[in-house]
């Protein structure tokens, strides 16, 4: 619960911080004057070509397809050049052209801010209008929102990772790399979505932030794999790496000894990312014997190599050839976002299973939105589809693909929420096995099928199932039922144990304990039933057969034997009818006791008083008969007495019974309750929440018992 709370708070905090930066970025973009024009300098020899005109904008005298040759306003006039509309100024062939670009951007921005603007068209005509002071939010292009989404998603990922493994140095570097990605991503969103120009100083500052953030992301990527998951270099190397990064940023900003802006910006990024790939390869080699880490690094290393190849093809090579990048900058940040997501999974040791359900869905839906936006942009760029048809095609294609991918990921990564019926049956089968080596083997086989560990090993006993901090092992207690075990690396070593695995282990262990307790209770019930039958056989059947043995009249013997057979059937069937009054319960017992004592040559005194009409439960009646029969049998067999006295009192739901004689007394043996008969009496009284006492009273003995007449367990 604490982990979930920490993870949620970190995602919330980073999300709010990123949302603030998003709001600031949107504010800067909307604060620029707006003409309602979409301009392009591609395939144009002079001036700019009008691609689209917003009908709600002020430039009503300009039509799509027109060429803008000059712009004038505020006493200034400037000839427009195709390079003025370039998205990324790094495409400049020289730093002189690069610096001139920012100067021209400043002059054009001043003209647009001056008030009325006049454009000279390709046919020599002029169009004058006053730009709106602010840009409507609906006019921001989709590439703008794509870059904001890339930065915002990376912030959520880093926040989740920080809450998940916040004490690991790799996670801290991950958070810093996210900050670098934001620094590079959000400024680019502003200047690549500009209508025509930004203030020169603002544009240059945004471009410098983009360069610093992009290079910083790759430098931190290199630093990450130099120290995580194993340290490859001393810590001072990281300080040296940071110093080189700062030094190069200063050199690039002030253009010291550099000639081509694109090479100066993109080549260090490529070299640093390539060094990160080599560091990841070293980590892969160092992880020999650790298949989990090798799998994570191997997967990320492949994606890193792929991203480096794509980046070089579209961003590094074109400037070396003197051409503009072949794809818009937003695609580069989409690549970085994919790489960042893969890096996150590697940092948390490939533990995708430990993503909370809500986080998993958040990231999955975010990835779906990113995929939709990228596909939409590519569809518009490559085909001649308009915005609306392209939107529909993109939505349909990405939705279908998203459903398939989501189902595949869910099946592969998320364990079943409910246990399979066969697993329940196997746990019960383990519990019903006699505690020996066979039970341990069945339990181990069940755990192997449930988790597929690389291997199992014995461990010391502990209280509850748990995994270690890295999820490398899962410890399952034995609880005295089976041997405690440590499971190492789930699914043959390809993943760590997750909290869901711990929960599953807890469910299996809980089922084992419950099934074993049920089995023990069943066995105890059998033993208690056998003991009850044994006591009843001794107390009731034995007493009547003893009386028949000592009797002299044949008809009396026959009656006693018939009663014994009747009691035998009652004992076996455990017949319990409706409650009877005390008089009804004692009528037959008094006659039976008198006949037994008379047959043995003993006199009887019988008294009963109290609430004779109150009901007595069948269980209490059965216990009363058994105790009286056993007490009388004891006097007949051992006491050599002349008279036996039986006193029974019933009041307030309690029965008080006293049996005494005037014969001999073996006080020590009687007090201990030796023999199955007296021991049975004591057990019956205790079962009815009562108490029993044997008193030596001169000649003879006295047995006193008191127990409930309205409740009790089977005895």
Among 398-412, 433-447, 675-689, which is the least confidently predicted range?
398-412
- pLDDT > 50? residue 102: yes
Confidence of residue 352 (pLDDT cuts 50, 70, 90): very low
Confidence of residue 7 (pLDDT cuts 50, 70, 90): low
CB 506 within 8 A of CB 512: no
- pLDDT > 70? residue 338: no
Averaged pLDDT for residues 165-173: 67
Q: How far apart are CA 448 and CA 487, in angstroms?
A: 9
Extract the tokens encoding 129.
Answer: 């209008």
pLDDT of residue 713: 45
- pLDDT > 50? residue 456: yes
- Could you name the CATH architecture of 1-32+137-351? Up-down Bundle (1.20)
681-712 pLDDT, tens digit each = 787 788 778 888 888 766 777 889 998 887 65
Averaged pLDDT for residues 317-335: 60
Q: How far apart are CA 17 and CA 632, in angstroms?
A: 90
Residue 201 Cα to chain centre, angstroms: 49
pLDDT of residue 177: 81
- By DSSP bridging, strand 455-458 and strand 117-121 are unpaired
- pLDDT > 80? residue 269: yes
644-666 pLDDT, tens digit each = 999 999 888 888 999 988 887 65
Find the distance separating the first CA and the last CA of the chain, reported in whole Å.
Answer: 48
CB-based burial label for 332 (10 Å; 0-12, 13-18, 19+): buried
Fold that domain 580-708 belongs to in CATH: Heat Shock Protein 90 (3.30.565)
Buried b (16+ CB within 10 A) or exposed e, 282-308: bbbebbeebbbbbbbbbebbebbeebb
Averaged pLDDT for residues 418-440: 75
- pLDDT > 70? residue 610: yes
Q: How far apart are CA 620 and CA 455, in angstroms?
A: 58
- By DSSP bridging, strand 603-610 and strand 643-651 are parallel
pLDDT of residue 334: 60
- pLDDT > 60? residue 274: yes
pLDDT of residue 175: 81
Backbone angles phi, psi at 534, to 5 degrees: -65, -45
Among 22-36, 159-173, 598-612, 622-636, which is the least confidently predicted range?
159-173
The single residue listed with the structure tokens 């024009």 is 37
Rg (CA), the chain: 46
Averaged pLDDT for residues 419-428: 72
Averaged pLDDT for residues 490-505: 77
Which strands sit side by side in the sheet containing 455-458, from one edge to the other?
Answer: 455-458, 485-488, 473-476, 466-467
Q: How far apart are CA 262 and CA 102, in angstroms?
A: 15
Among 51-60, 273-282, 469-478, 566-575, which is the least confidently predicted range?
566-575
- pLDDT > 60? residue 574: no
What is the CB-side half-sphere exposure of residue 102 using CA atoms within 13 A? 15
pLDDT of residue 355: 40
192-210 pLDDT, tens digit each = 899 999 987 899 999 999 8
pLDDT of residue 573: 53
pLDDT of residue 39: 93
- Among 339, 332, 310, residue whose Cα is nearest residue 377: 332
CB-based burial label for 607 (10 Å; 0-12, 13-18, 19+): exposed
Buried b (16+ CB within 10 A) or exposed e, 492-527: ebebbbbbebbebbebbbebbbebbeeeeeeeeeee
Q: Does domain 34-134 have CATH number 1.10.287?
A: no
CA angle 273, 275, 277 (to 5 degrees): 70
24-57 pLDDT, tens digit each = 999 999 999 999 999 998 888 899 999 999 988 9
Residue 241 DSSP SS3: helix
pLDDT of residue 122: 92
pLDDT of residue 60: 80
- Which comes out higher in pLDDT, residue 108 or 557? 108
Averaged pLDDT for residues 333-350: 56
In the chain, what percentage of residues exceed pLDDT 70? 71
Averaged pLDDT for residues 513-526: 84
Whole-prediction pTM value? 0.53
Among 19-28, 62-71, 137-146, 315-324, which is the least confidently predicted range?
315-324
- pLDDT > 60? residue 547: yes
- pLDDT > 90? residue 87: no
Confidence of residue 418 (pLDDT cuts 50, 70, 90): very low
Q: How far apart are CA 508 and CA 589, in angstroms?
A: 54
Q: How far apart are CA 697 and CA 306, in angstroms?
A: 102
- Which comes out higher in pLDDT, residue 481 or 101? 101
Among 286-300, 343-357, 620-634, which is the least confidently predicted range?
343-357
Domain ranges of the chain: 1-32+137-351, 34-134, 415-578, 580-708
Q: How far apart are CA 496 and CA 296, in angstroms?
A: 11
CA angle 124, 129, 134 (to 5 degrees): 135
pLDDT of residue 363: 55
Highest-scoring range by mean pLDDT, 38-42, 379-383, 545-549, 586-590: 38-42
Classify residue 195 by its DSSP letter: S
Confidence of residue 566 (pLDDT cuts 50, 70, 90): low
- By DSSP bridging, strand 37-40 and strand 48-53 are antiparallel
- Among 200, 196, 203, 194, residue whose Cα is nearest residue 81: 196
pLDDT of residue 288: 74
Backbone angles phi, psi at 474, to 5 degrees: -125, 120
In whole numbers, what is the pLDDT of the chain averaged over residues?
78
Among 187-191, 235-239, 362-366, which is the least confidently predicted range?
362-366
- Which comes out higher in pLDDT, residue 523 or 672? 523
What is 47-80 written as a DSSP string?
A: SEEEEEE-TTSS-TT--TT-EEEEEEETTEEEE-
Q: How far apart are CA 407 and CA 409, in angstroms?
A: 6
């Amino acid at each position: 619960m604490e982990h979930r709370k920490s993870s949620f708070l970190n995602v919330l905090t980073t999300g709010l911080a990123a949302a603030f930066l998003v709001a600031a970025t949107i504010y800067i973009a909307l604060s620029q004057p707006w003409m309602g024009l979409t301009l392009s300098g591609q395939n144009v020899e002079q001036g700019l070509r009008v691609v689209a005109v917003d009908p709600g904008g002020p430039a009503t005298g300009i039509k799509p397809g027109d060429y803008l040759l000059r712009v004038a306003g505020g006493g200034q006039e400037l000839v427009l050049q195709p390079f003025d509309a370039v998205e990324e100024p790094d495409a400049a062939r020289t730093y002189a052209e690069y610096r001139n670009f920012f100067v021209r951007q400043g002059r054009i921005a001043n003209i647009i801010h001056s008030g009325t603007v006049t454009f000279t068209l390709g046919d020599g005509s002029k169009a004058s209008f006053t730009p709106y002071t602010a840009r409507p939010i609906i006019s921001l292009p989709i590439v703008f929102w794509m870059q904001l989404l890339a930065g915002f998603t990376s912030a959520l990922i880093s926040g989740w990772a920080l809450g998940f493994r916040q004490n690991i140095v790799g996670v801290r570097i991950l958070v810093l790399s996210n900050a670098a990605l934001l620094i590079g991503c959000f400024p680019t969103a502003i200047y690549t979505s500009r209508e025509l120009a930004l203030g020169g100083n603002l544009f240059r500052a945004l471009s410098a932030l983009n360069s610093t953030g992009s290079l910083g992301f790759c430098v931190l990527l290199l630093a990450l794999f130099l120290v995580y998951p194993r340290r490859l270099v001393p810590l001072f190397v990281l300080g040296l790496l940071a110093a080189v990064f700062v030094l190069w940023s200063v050199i690039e900003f002030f253009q010291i000894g550099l000639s081509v802006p694109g090479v100066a910006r993109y080549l260090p990024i490529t070299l640093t990312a390539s060094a990160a790939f080599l560091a990841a390869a070293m980590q892969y080699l160092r992880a020999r014997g650790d298949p989990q880490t090798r799998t994570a690094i191997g997967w990320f290393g492949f994606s890193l190599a792929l991203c480096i190849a794509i980046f070089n093809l579209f961003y590094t090579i074109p400037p070396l050839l003197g051409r503009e990048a072949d794809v818009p900058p937003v695609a580069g940040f989409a690549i970085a976002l994919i790489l960042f997501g893969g890096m996150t999974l590697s940092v948390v040791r490939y533990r995708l299973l430990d993503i909370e359900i809500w986080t998993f869905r958040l990231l999955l839906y975010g990835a779906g939105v990113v995929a939709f936006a990228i596909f939409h942009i590519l569809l518009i760029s490559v085909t001649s589809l308009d915005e609306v048809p392209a939107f529909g095609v993109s939505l349909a294609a990405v939705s279908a693909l998203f459903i398939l991918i989501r189902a595949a990921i869910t099946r592969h990564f998320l364990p079943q929420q409910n246990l399979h019926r066969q697993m329940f049956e196997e746990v019960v089968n383990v519990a019903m096995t006699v505690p020996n080596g066979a039970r341990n083997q069945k339990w181990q086989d069940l755990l192997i099928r449930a988790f597929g560990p690389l291997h199992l090993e014995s461990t010391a006993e502990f209280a509850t199932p748990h995994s270690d901090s890295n999820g490398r092992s899962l410890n399952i207690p034995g609880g005295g039922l089976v041997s405690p075990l440590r499971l190492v690396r789930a699914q043959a070593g390809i993943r760590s144990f997750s909290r869901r695995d711990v929960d599953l282990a807890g469910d299996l262990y809980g089922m084992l304990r419950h099934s074993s307790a049920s089995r023990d209770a069943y066995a105890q019930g059998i033993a208690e039933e056998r003991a009850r039958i044994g006591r009843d056989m001794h107390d009731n059947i034995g007493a009547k057969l003893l009386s028949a043995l000592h009797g002299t009249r044949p008809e009396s013997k026959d009656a006693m034997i018939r009663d014994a057979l009747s009691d035998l059937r009652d004992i076996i069937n455990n017949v319990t009818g409706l409650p009877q009054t005390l008089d009804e319960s004692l009528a037959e017992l008094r006659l039976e006791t008198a006949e037994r004592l008379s047959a043995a040559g003993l006199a009887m005194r019988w008294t009963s008083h109290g609430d004779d009409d109150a009901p007595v439960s069948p269980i209490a009646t059965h216990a009363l008969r058994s105790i009286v029969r056993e007490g009388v049998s004891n006097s007949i067999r051992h006491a050599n007495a002349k008279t036996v006295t039986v006193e029974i009192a019933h009041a307030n739901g309690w029965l008080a019974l006293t049996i005494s004689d005037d014969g001999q007394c073996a006080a020590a043996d009687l007090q201990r309750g030796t023999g199955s008969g007296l021991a049975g009496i004591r057990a019956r009284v205790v079962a009815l929440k009562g108490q029993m006492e044997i008193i030596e009273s001169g000649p003879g003995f006295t047995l006193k018992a008191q127990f409930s007449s309205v409740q009790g367990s089977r005895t």
